[in-house]
Amino acid sequence: MFGLTKRDTTLLLVVAVLTIFAPFILNPFPEGSAMAQFNAGYPDLMQRLVIFGIFAIGFNILFGLTGYLSFGHAAFLGVGSYAAIWMMKLLTMNVIPAIMISVLVAGLFSLLVGWISLRRSGIYFSILTLAFAQMSYSLAYSVLTPITGGETGLQPKVNDPRILDAALTEGQNPRANLFGLEMGTSYEMAVGGWIFTFNAGYYIAAIVMLLAFYLSIRIFRSPFGMMLRAVKSNQQRLNYTGLNAKPYTLAAFVISGMYAGLAGGLLVAMDTQVGAERMFWTASGEVVLMTILGGAGTLIGPVLGAGFIKYMENIVSKINKTVLEQWFAFMPDGIEDFFITIVYPFVGKGWHLTLGLLFMMVVIFLPGGLVQGGQKVAGLFKRKKPVDDKPDGKTTPAE
C-alpha cells in the first residue's frame, strides 16, 4: 500500500493509529486520581510531541542515513519560526502561508549553511553547523532585535497590518486558524472518570507528522536513501566509483532543514510566539539526543525519542512536594516522609537529574536506543530472535 512494503505499511498504519488515538492513549488515568499527574493528553503537550517528532524525523534523514552529525539544526527551526510569525503579522493568521513560508525559508537557509559546512566532514562539520547556529542565536537575541524581537520575542499583535485578514473587532485577539478553524478549538469527551481532549491544532499537526513520516519512509527505501547510506558506510569508496557524494548529502541536509522549518512553522501555528532561545545550542543538542535516544537510523526511533524527552520536560517538572504528599498519603507518616525525601530530588526542579540519568541508562543498556528496547521486549514475547530489520541501523564505518 502507498508504494511501501508490507512491513513499512504496517509500521505507518500503527503510527497513524497511535497518533489518531493519542488523546486516549496519553490519558490513561482518570481525572482526580493521584496518577492523573502523568496524563499527557492535553493539547499543548500533544502538539509538541508530534511537532518535535517531525523535527527529529527530519534530523534522522541527515544523521541516521549519512552519519553527518549536525549540531545546528535548531537554527533552521528558529528561522522557520520567525518566517512564520512574520507571515502572521503581515499577511494573515491562517496557518497555511505561515507553514509554507517557514519550510521555504528554512530550506534556503539550510542550503546556504549546508553548502558551506559540507565541505568538511566528521566533527569539523559538526562544529561548522554549531557555529552557524550560535551566530544565528546571538544575533537574533541582540543586534537583530528590530526583526526578531530579541529577548521578548515576537507575538501577533492587535495592531499588526495583516493585509489579507478582516480587521479584528474590538476586544478580539489575533488567533491562528485554518480557514476559520482556530488551532485552539477542542472537543472534550467525558467517559466515566476520564476526560479526553480532541484538539484541532493537534490533529492538523498530527496529519502533517504522518505525511512527514510517510515521506521519510519513502526516502529511506529509495535509491536516494541507498546512496546516503553508502555515504555513511564508506564515502571514500563511493568517490572511487566515480560518484560525487556532495549533491546527495547536500540534498539530505536541505531536506532535513526543511523538516526543521516545518516543525518551526507548526510550533508558531500552535503557539503564536517565537523567542531566540529556540536556536540556542542546547536546542540543537536536544534533537541530537532525541534521535540517538530513540535509535538513530531507525524509522520510528526519533519520534519515540522526541516524545520521551518532551514528556519528561513537561510532566516530571510539574511534580512538586504537594503532589508527592498526595501520592504517598496512604503510608504511615514516617515512611511517607522517607519516600518523599527519596523521590523529591528527582522530580519538580530536579527533572534534569532524572533526564540525565535516563540518558545514561538508555545508552548503557540499550545501545540501539529505545527502539532496541522495544525489540527486546517484543523478542521476549515472540520467543525467537527478532528479525534484523535494520539494514539502516548503526554500522561502524569502515576506515
Bridge partner list, 154: 274
* Distance from C-alpha of 105 to C-alpha of 288, rounded to nearest angstrom: 22
Residues from 346 through 375 that contact another protein (CB under 8 A)? 348-353, 355-360, 362-364, 367
9 binds another protein (CB under 8 A): no
* Shortest distance in whole angstroms from residue 2 CB to another protein: 31
Could you count the other beta carbons within 10 Å of the beta carbon of residue 239?
Answer: 13
275 binds another protein (CB under 8 A): yes
285 binds another protein (CB under 8 A): yes
Please identify which residue in 1, 13, 90, 143 interacts with another protein, judged by CB under 8 A: 143
Q: Which residues contact 223 (CB under 8 A, 6 or more apart)?
A: none
* Distance from C-alpha of 259 to C-alpha of 276, rounded to nearest angstrom: 19
Q: Which residues contact 75 (CB under 8 A, 6 or more apart)?
A: 109, 113, 132, 133, 136, 137, 279, 284
* Shortest distance in whole angstroms from residue 206 CB to another protein: 17
Bridge partner list, 181: 178
166 binds another protein (CB under 8 A): no
Binding string, 119-138, against another protein, x = CB under 8 A? xxxxxx--xx-xxx-xx--x
Please identify which residue in 24, 203, 214, 281 interacts with another protein, judged by CB under 8 A: 281
3-class secondary structure, 391: coil
Phi, psi of 151 (to 5 degrees): -60, -40
333 binds another protein (CB under 8 A): no
CB closer to another protein, 8 vs 160: 160
Could you count the other beta carbons within 10 Å of the beta carbon of residue 94?
Answer: 20
- Binding residue count for another protein, defined by CB under 8 A: 108
Half-sphere exposure of 60 (CA within 13 A, CB side): 34
239 binds another protein (CB under 8 A): no
CB closer to another protein, 9 vs 317: 317
Residues from 15 through 54 that contact another protein (CB under 8 A)? 30-34, 36-37, 39, 42-45, 48
* Distance from C-alpha of 176 to C-alpha of 397, rounded to nearest angstrom: 46
CB closer to another protein, 8 vs 264: 264
